[in-house]
């Protein structure tokens, strides 16, 4: 293995440094960027391309999952508001059924000179 061509399997940094041996007498490598240690760095360019493509696809998948989660959340919020409006409407209907409406036309003076026209009053 050429030290300059081996790649960290965690962060894909090129150029690991030797860091002793493990219990089975295998060479250990340490990444200069993420400081993780490994006994199996990526040494083949084809393997690096394959892993890079897999990471790219995993990121695309995660992005799609995030978009779906956001869309589902927005839909749930819309349904919550709609359910609240329906419940409010049902309570208003019960209130109107319980009380009769007195529709009168004319003008009324309210606080500070405000004028109301054609008001509806519950009795």
Residue 4 has pLDDT above 70, yes or no: no
d(CA 18, CA 47): 21
- Residue 10's domain comprises 1-43
Could you tell me which residue, 52 or 81, shows the higher pLDDT? 81
Residue 53 in any domain: the answer is no
Residue 15 in any domain: the answer is yes
Number of domains within the chain: 1
Contact by Cβ (8 Å): 100, 123: yes
Residue 73 in any domain: the answer is no
Range among 3-12, 15-24, 84-93, 112-121 rated most confident = 84-93
> Which DSSP string corresponds to 9-58?
TTT--B--EEEEE-TTSPEEEE-TTT--EESS-B--HHHHHHHHHHHHHH
Where residue 29 sits, what CATH number does that domain have?
2.20.25
Residue 57 in any domain: the answer is no
Residue 110 in any domain: the answer is no
Residue 99 in any domain: the answer is no
| Span 55-74, pLDDT tens digits | 889 999 999 999 899 888 88
């Amino acid at each position: 293995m050429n030290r300059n061509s081996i790649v960290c399997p965690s962060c894909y940094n090129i150029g690991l440094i030797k860091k002793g041996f493990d219990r089975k007498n295998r060479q250990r490598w340490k990444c200069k960027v993420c400081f993780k240690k490994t006994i199996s760095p990526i040494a083949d360019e084809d393997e690096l391309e394959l892993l890079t493509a897999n990471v790219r696809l995993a990121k695309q998948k995660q992005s799609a999952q995030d978009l779906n989660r956001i869309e589902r959340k927005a839909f749930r919020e819309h349904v919550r508001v709609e359910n609240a409006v329906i419940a409010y409407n049902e309570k208003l209907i019960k209130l109107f059924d319980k009380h009769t409406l007195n529709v009168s036309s004319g003008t009324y003076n309210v606080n500070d000179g405000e004028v109301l026209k054609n008001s509806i009053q519950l009795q």
